[in-house]
Amino acid sequence: MPYIDQYFANLYDLINCLTRAVDLVTPKVSSHHQQVAYMALNIADAMRISVDQKRTLVLAALLHDIGSLSLDDNMDFFEEEPLTINNHAFIGARLFSSSPIMKDVAEVIKFHHIPWNNGEGKSFKGEEVPLLSHILHLSDRVAIRVNRDESVISQIRPIKEYTKSARNTVFEPELVDTFLDICDEEALWLDLVYRPTIFTGQNDLSLQSINLTLDETVDFTKILSQIIDFRSRFTATHSAGVAAVALKLAELSGFSEGECKMMSIAGNLHDIGKLAIPREILEKTDALEPAEYDIIKSHTFYTYHLLAPISKFESIAQWAAYHHEKLNGRGYPFHIKSDNLSLGARIMAVADIFTAITEDRPYRKGMPKERAETVLGHMVENKSISQSIVSLLVDNYAIISCLRKESEDRAAAEYSKIISI
Ligand SMILES: [Fe+2]
Ligand SMILES: [Fe+2]
Ligand SMILES: [Fe+2]
């Protein structure tokens, strides 16, 4: 039995998992979030702002461009700031604003591209823009100017010139002055490029102490499931459906209350590795070429390695990442056989297949009951999936189907609300 106590997961562990996943989306700008967080923390330290504020700033920096995954722009924000640049900031803020523990972080993310504009940037459409958003803005624009193919030390001077020229127009003037004060230290820039992940006990933020209860972990991973799903409108509600079906099957299988919540977490995160798969492949409606299918096969490998390092996620990582394994050992990518496929992993495999074949996609309707049962029956016959789980599903078809649909309808409504610009 997995051990469950009052606190379950660490918030920083979960955010770190997400930033590692985002690095897989756009290797070209990998570590961008870590670099911006690193620079923001250095500016904040020089300004001597409170530890609480620094923590909010660093968490916002680690997540600031996450909203762009729901758009087509894939985080390629270079030197110019187009008029539409606020869209991803607003989407990112909406994703996190539903969580009480992330409310302040969401506020900072929301305004991270508001220019200072001679003081007009103190507010935006009647809302106060936090100073932390201005620190994030400056850190982001500076990090993005660093050309990774050239010596970073040679770039210090032109970056200083740029921030001076943008003092008071783009950036808050006192922030620019603070930034210029710390700029001459070459090690700051070498750290920025070569080892921007600095949050392991070398600062006063105590990020490792922000713990979440099991319920809070379920809620937080629901936000992560939206980040995973909203990347493609074709599967914008898939994880929500899988989580609902897996939860019900776990209840029916006699899992404890805590284990059922862990199953929801695993359902929310089962496709987190899909962040590593190019959008063109995810959105292809024709049959995949063999080479494309090979790429798809890697997604559960990434799911496993993103989740396994999280403390107390040992079972969750397996339940989530083994959803394409088959009892006969012919699944992918680990080829685990029945002996080593736990009940949780078997449930997730059935929940994933059932949801995928019965949910509507923009390019096709979901299968009706009889066809879905036939497909699942064939898979039981060739020893791909568990007979007992499929029987449980068939015996409770109406209720499970209804839970799947309700969960996906709710996710669709949230999708429209969050991505509306
Ligand atoms: Fe941004
Ligand atoms: Fe950014
Ligand atoms: Fe999958």
Angle at 400 between CA 6 and CA 18, to 5 degrees: 45
Question: pTM score, two decimals?
Answer: 0.93
Q: What is the mean pLDDT of the chain?
A: 92
pLDDT digits (tens, 9 = 90+) for 70-128: 876 555 555 556 667 788 999 999 999 989 999 999 999 999 999 999 999 999 999 99
From ligand 1's centre to the CA of 64, what distance in Å? 6
According to DSSP, the residues that pair with 393 across neighbouring strands are none
**pLDDT bucket at 284, cuts 50 / 70 / 90:** confident
From ligand 1's centre to the CA of 119, what distance in Å? 20
Kindly list the protein residues that place their beta carbon closer than 5 angstroms to ligand 1, a single-atom ion. 65
The answer to whether 375 and 357 are in contact (CB under 8 A) is yes
> Whose CA is closest to 352, among 276, 266, 415?
266
Rounded Cα distance, 8 and 98, in Å: 20
**pLDDT bucket at 42, cuts 50 / 70 / 90:** very high
**From residue 256, how far is each of 22, 241, 246 by CA, in Å?**
33, 21, 14
From ligand 2's centre to the CA of 77, what distance in Å? 7
- The number of angstroms, rounded, from the C-alpha of 47 to the middle of its chain's C-alpha atoms is 30
What pLDDT sits at residue 2? 47
324: its two tokens: 């394409």
pLDDT of 65 over the 80 cut: yes
What pLDDT sits at residue 76? 57
From ligand 1's centre to the CA of 22, what distance in Å? 14
From ligand 1's centre to the CA of 136, what distance in Å? 9
Other CB atoms within 10 A of residue 126 CB: 5
CA-derived radius of gyration, the chain? 23
> Whose CA is closest to 51, among 205, 197, 200, 202?
205
User: What mean pLDDT do residues 204-232 have?
Assistant: 91
From ligand 1's centre to the CA of 109, what distance in Å? 8
pLDDT of 231 over the 90 cut: no
The answer to whether 319 and 260 are in contact (CB under 8 A) is no
User: What mean pLDDT do residues 315-343 have?
Assistant: 97
**From residue 390, how far is each of 245, 316, 322, 332 by CA, in Å?**
12, 21, 17, 20
**From residue 411, how far is each of 126, 151, 385, 389 by CA, in Å?**
30, 46, 27, 25
What pLDDT sits at residue 421? 66
**pLDDT bucket at 68, cuts 50 / 70 / 90:** confident
pLDDT of 156 over the 90 cut: yes
User: What mean pLDDT do residues 11-37 have?
Assistant: 88
pLDDT digits (tens, 9 = 90+) for 267-283: 999 999 999 998 889 88
From ligand 2's centre to the CA of 177, what distance in Å? 21
**Which domains does the chain carry?**
32-196 (1.10.3210.10), 211-419 (1.10.3210.10)
From ligand 1's centre to the CA of 114, what distance in Å? 10
What pLDDT sits at residue 201? 57
From ligand 2's centre to the CA of 307, what distance in Å? 24
Angle at 234 between CA 230 and CA 235, to 5 degrees: 60
Q: What is the DSSP string of 112-181?
A: TT---GGGGGGEETTEEPPHHHHHHHHHHHHHHH--TTS-SGGGHHHHHHHHHHTBTTTB-HHHHHHHHH
